[in-house]
Chains A and B, each alone.
Chain A
Amino acid sequence: MATVEQETIRKQLRDFITESFMVGLEDETFEDSDSFMEKGIVDSTGILEVTSFVEDTFGIGIEDEEMKPDNLDSVDNLVNFIRRKQG
């Protein structure tokens, strides 16, 4: 069962993605499990914005070698990654 904290993280991420990458695309939606890459929501420079937001908002550092789809390529993956990094 999702904790309150996970849900807070999830909402913050969704709000950021929507405000940063979906302006003008209000008719389009994305699931938490959707791949940013496959759905074309975020591109190779956009992902740098995402990591900056995650580092600043959740107080974690993301190493270059951690910039991989398993960690970053969906809201679900990001939530799990952030929780692991926060310990």
Chain B
Amino acid sequence: MKVHDFLERAARDHPDRTAVVHLDDKFTYRDLYGKYRALAAFLDGLELAPGARVALLWDNSFEYVMAFFAVFRAGYVLVPLDTSVKPDKLADIIADCGAEALLCQSKFRRHLDRILPESTTVRHLISDRALKPGREAIAVGTLADILDNDAYRHDGQLPGAAVTFDPAAARHDLAAIFYTSGSTGTSKGVMLSHRNLVSNTEATVEYLRLTPADSVIVILPFYYIYGNSLLLTHVACGGALVVDNRFMYPEVILDTMERERVTGFSGVPSNFMILLNNSTFTTRTFENLRYFTQAGGAMAPEVIRRLIDAFPDKEICIMYGQTEAAPRATYCPPERLREKLGSIGIPVPGVTIKIMNDRGDELPPGESGEIIVIGDNVMLGYWNQPEEQAQVLRDGRLFTGDLGKMDDDGYFYVIGRKKEIIKCGGNRVSAKEVEERILENEKVSEAAVFGVADPLLGEAIKVAVVLKNGCRSGPKEIQDFCREKLAIHKVPKYVEFLDELPKYQSGKVNKLQLAKR
């Protein structure tokens, strides 16, 4: 079984259910299937070698979903590209993966001026408009032409009832390469197989109890592994993707959620903080909303409490993972959230989590060590980076780089990133612990803690703080607040107030940029 078989199954079982909603447009699985088959036929006709890389630079949209599955059906490897990344970086990624075809939304056509002249591998460019590639060796096509061409048009036949889908038989062939932002600043191409994606998708559908009646508002980019998971899980269950790329204006998203009666909302911590602090989110009832999911970094218990208080009748599922785990490693069952506040929960079905010390010994409950993931979701490796790969992948086990522990109930807790432990004057301080304390201050909207070089301490603790609208504070107030609950060596030496924290497109805080200020 391969990733596109999710769409095959959904089209067979739910042809007339809504697959994608985007602004005023609604597409059924039948619509999606016909167009995906046509595009796959075109891509297959390019006769690229099996496993050839096809890059996709496109906003979340129906076209993205169609292209996503078409690349897999044609037997190629998908490379989703971050649309916020500068053209120089995109050119580097395309060179690194050796993409032979590029599906590029015309909105990003200026990037092509940098990407295509540099590329020695791209031979095909497909867009929503006729673009000029600037190189004669590149064949150009438009989606409209492809979909209207009788040579590729699908006959409307849906997959037959006889086709069976067995996740356990999912192929370990390379399916996609997701480039991560990377805590060191250099991107790594995470290689995920069909089995990685299929097994993790099925596990997530199971613990979220997703059904064809479910629909999720998609504000997270599909090129980000969490956004990708929304795409796969909802097609896998025959549910709907309600795409809205306007999170910059939260009220618009909230209106869409009500109008389309979505059953799920998935976000990263900054999404929830913006909604809780800067929108009418908590005044709305969202009658059809069944659940929230949160991943993409630790959300402070204080923020989770506010979400619980605002929506006591909705399920809130805190999750943990990373791109290298396809991505889901753990989830906290909503019914246990209050008593396990701060926990990342239990392993998702089919995955094993261990806590290990540096010698490779598994540690008992209560002891801190590195979180290790074992399962069919663990990546194949990093594209073209064997040394980096060897640091995190050993004997099929993924060394996450996160420090954590397990309680007596088998629930896991993240203490911090190994790389985010600040070594301050002989003490090891968790940035996460200090952030959570500062976020308890009612004047604080966001906080990011990191280490900065210090001649005396080795590393000193610095925090960048964003205050809530209308609030005023000073470094001493923040430091005094920390001093009330934290050991003296955990109090930040430096406090800087900012109007906003620099973030990646995924919403995660860019601490590298903060540390360079």
Contacts and interface: CB of A to CB of B under 8 A. Distances in A.
B209 interface: no
A68 B84 CA distance: 22
When A and B form their complex, which 6 residue pairs have the shortest distance between CB atoms, in order from nearest?
A: A45-B500, A44-B248, A49-B499, A64-B280, A64-B279, A44-B247
Interface of A: 36-38, 40, 42-49, 52, 64-69, 72-73
A42 B248 contact: yes
Which label, helix, strand, loop or mixed, suits the secondary structure of the B interface?
loop
Given A49-B499, A52-B499, A64 B278 contact: yes
A72 B249 contact: yes
A67 B500 contact: no
Contacts of A65: 251, 280
Interface in B224-273: 245-252, 270
B469 interface: yes
A68 B278 contact: no
B503 interface: yes
Nearest to A46: B500
Given A44-B247, A67-B249, 14 more contacts: A37-B246, A37-B248, A44-B248, A44-B250, A46-B248, A49-B499, A49-B500, A52-B499, A64-B279, A64-B280, A65-B251, A67-B251, A68-B252, A72-B249
Nearest to B252: A68
27 contacts: A37-B246, A37-B248, A37-B249, A40-B84, A42-B248, A44-B248, A44-B250, A45-B274, A45-B500, A45-B501, A46-B248, A47-B248, A47-B249, A48-B274, A48-B499, A48-B500, A49-B499, A64-B279, A65-B280, A66-B251, A67-B249, A67-B250, A67-B278, A69-B246, A69-B252, A73-B248, A73-B249
Contact of A43 (B107, B248, B251, B469): B248
Contacts of A52: 469, 499
B438 to A, nearest CB: 18
Contact of B251 (A37, A48, A64): A64
Nearest to A72: B249
Contacts of A73: 248-249
Nearest to B219: A44
Contacts of B501: 45
Contacts of A40: 84
A36 B248 contact: yes
Contacts of A67: 249-251, 278-279
B108 to A, nearest CB: 10
Q: Which of A36, A49, A67, A72 has the most CB of B within 10 A?
A: A67
Contacts of A49: 499-500
B274 A44 contact: yes
A14 B393 CA distance: 49
A36 B242 CA distance: 22
Nearest to B500: A45
A43 B274 CA distance: 12
Nearest to A53: B499
Contacts of B250: 44, 64, 67
Interface in B464-504: 469, 499-501, 503
Contacts of B279: 64, 67
B423 to A, nearest CB: 30
